[in-house]
């Protein structure tokens, strides 16, 4: 089995993005499809643990990275750059910390970060750059949707509770819809119906009338990766089919 590769990719503003590319077991010299995973605030790449295990078992290489200001992706040219943590468990506390973090560490650059990360991964040995997938949760979901039209070889984009689009600009939500319309890859949008960050509303608005989009709403109000086990079988089936793996 190939050893994991540790990624260090400079972002446009000099922040160093960190991640891990993990290969599945396979035959010597085999080229693997690649899934790049962008997590939710205020988490890290480790939040995708269950999905990583499933993708590796399916024969898909995985590049999970810490988004800017999270985990190990905090080394900036002027010193450490770290997101704020909610002070309390209320939605108001979360929203205040998210808004502060968005400006502080530059969430609007996540779109470009995703493009740089997937480019790094696609050029590594034993990766089939014609079979790429992007998976994002919450603000990472909006980020991968915006980056999708710029990724050649992209076969699939999947999101769980994609949200936070306004951090990409006042026209962020409209830009996400336009990016989905331009994306030639298959798209999977999932959320709970009553997602507190309007993930459900985004699924409805961004997927409406588009034949290449599969929209899924599950009951409840869980957000982002919290719905993973509700949609796991369908999501994995979507990714396996799109990436042409058994």
60-116 confidence digits (pLDDT tens)? 999 999 999 999 999 999 999 999 999 999 999 999 999 999 999 999 999 999 999
How many CA atoms lie less than 13 Å away from 65 in the CB half-sphere?
A: 35
Instruction: Decide if pLDDT at 27 tops 90.
Output: no
Rounded CA separation 44/39 (Å): 6
Instruction: Decide if pLDDT at 24 tops 80.
Output: yes
| Beta bridge mates, 32 | 127
pLDDT tens-digit readout, 197-210? 999 999 999 999 99
pLDDT tens-digit readout, 121-159? 999 999 999 999 999 999 999 999 999 999 999 999 999
Q: ω before 99 within 30° of 0 (cis)?
A: no
Are the C-beta atoms of residues 3 and 25 closer than 8 Å to each other?
no
Predicted confidence at residue 189, as pLDDT, reads 98
Domain with 120 in it: what CATH number?
3.40.50.1820
pLDDT band per the 50, 70, 90 thresholds, residue 26 = confident
Predicted confidence at residue 28, as pLDDT, reads 81
pLDDT tens-digit readout, 158-196? 999 999 999 999 999 999 999 999 999 999 999 999 999
**Alpha helix positions (H), the chain:** 49-57, 91-105, 110-122, 139-147, 172-182, 199-207, 228-243
Rounded CA separation 198/192 (Å): 9
What stretch of H or E contains 154?
strand 154-160
Predicted confidence at residue 1, as pLDDT, reads 76
Instruction: Give the domain extent around 170.
Output: 5-243
137: left (phi over 0), alpha (psi -120 to 50) or beta: beta
Instruction: Decide if pLDDT at 45 tops 80.
Output: yes
Number of domains comprising the chain? 1
Predicted confidence at residue 25, as pLDDT, reads 93
Determine how β-strand 154-160 pairs with β-strand 127-137: parallel
**Among the listed residues 84, 83, 69, 85, the one whose alpha carbon sits nearest the alpha carbon of residue 16:** 69
């Amino acid at each position: 089995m190939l050893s994991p590769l540790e990624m260090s990719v400079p972002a446009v503003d000099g922040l160093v993005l960190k991640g891990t590319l993990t290969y599945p077991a396979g035959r010597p010299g085999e080229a693997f499809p690649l899934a790049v995973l962008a997590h939710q605030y205020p988490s890290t790449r480790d939040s995708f643990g269950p999905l990583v295990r499933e993708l590796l078992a399916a024969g898909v290489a995985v590049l999970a990275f810490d988004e800017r200001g999270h985990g190990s992706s905090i080394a900036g040219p002027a010193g450490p750059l770290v997101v704020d943590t909610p002070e309390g468990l209320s939605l108001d506390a979360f929203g205040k910390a998210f808004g502060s973090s968005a400006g502080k560490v530059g969430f609007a650059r996540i779109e470009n970060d995703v493009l740089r990360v997937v480019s790094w991964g696609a050029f590594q040995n034993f990766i089939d750059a014609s079979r790429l997938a992007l998976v994002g949760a919450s603000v990472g979901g909006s980020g991968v949707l915006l980056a999708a039209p710029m990724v050649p070889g992209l076969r699939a984009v999947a999101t769980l509770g994609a949200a936070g689009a306004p951090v990409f600009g006042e026209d962020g939500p409209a830009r996400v819809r336009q990016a989905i319309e331009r994306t030639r890859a298959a798209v999977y949008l999932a959320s709970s119906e009553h997602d507190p960050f309007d993930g459900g509303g985004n699924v409805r608005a961004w997927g409406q009338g588009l034949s290449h989009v599969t929209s899924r709403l599950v009951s409840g109000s869980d957000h982002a990766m919290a719905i993973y086990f509700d949609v796991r079988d369908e999501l994995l089936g979507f990714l396996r089919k799109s990436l042409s793996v058994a």
